[in-house]
Amino acid sequence: MSLSPAQKTTLRRLALAALILGHFGFFILAVGVVGLYRAGQLPPPPQPIAFPHPTHVLGLGLACNFCHETVEQARGAGVPPVEKCLTCHRQIARERPEVQKLLRYWDEQQPISWVRIHQLPEFIYFSHKRHVKAGVGCDSCHGPVAVMTEVRQVRTLNMGFCVGCHVKSGASRDCAICHQ
Window 14-33: residues binding ligand HEC (CB under 6 A): none
- Segment near ligand HEC (CB under 6 A); pick from 9-17, 20-28, 29-37, 138-146: 138-146
Q: Apex CA 129: angle with CA 54 and CA 150, to 5°?
A: 20
Residue 60 found at the interface with ligand HEC (CB under 6 A): yes
Residue 152 near ligand HEC by CB under 6 A? no
Which of 113, 108, 126 has its CA nearest to residue 165? 126
Report whether 64 contacts 80 (CB < 8 A).
no
**Cα 126 to Cα 102: distance, rounded to the nearest angstrom:** 31
| Residue 10 binds ligand HEC, judged by CB under 6 A | no
Query: x-or-dash pattern for ligand HEC, window 68-107, by CB under 6 A?
Result: x--x----xxxxx---xx-xxx--xx--x-xx--x-----
The nearer residue to ligand HEC, 16 or 92, going by C-beta atoms, is 92
Q: Annotate 48-69 with b (16+ C-beta within 10 A) or e (fewer).
A: ebebebeebbeeeeeebeebbb
Is 110 a binding residue for ligand HEC by CB under 6 A? The answer is no
Q: Which residues contact 169 (CB under 8 A, 6 or more apart)?
A: 134, 136
Taking the complex as a whole, the smallest distance from the CB of residue 17 to ligand HEC amounts, in Å, to 34
Among 141, 133, 132, which Cα is nearest to 162's?
141
- What's the min distance (Å) between Cβ of 28 and ligand HEC? 20
Q: Indicate whether 125 belongs to the interface with ligand HEC (CB under 6 A).
A: yes
Residues near ligand HEC (CB under 6 A), total: 71
| Smallest gap from residue 127 Cβ to ligand HEC (A) | 6
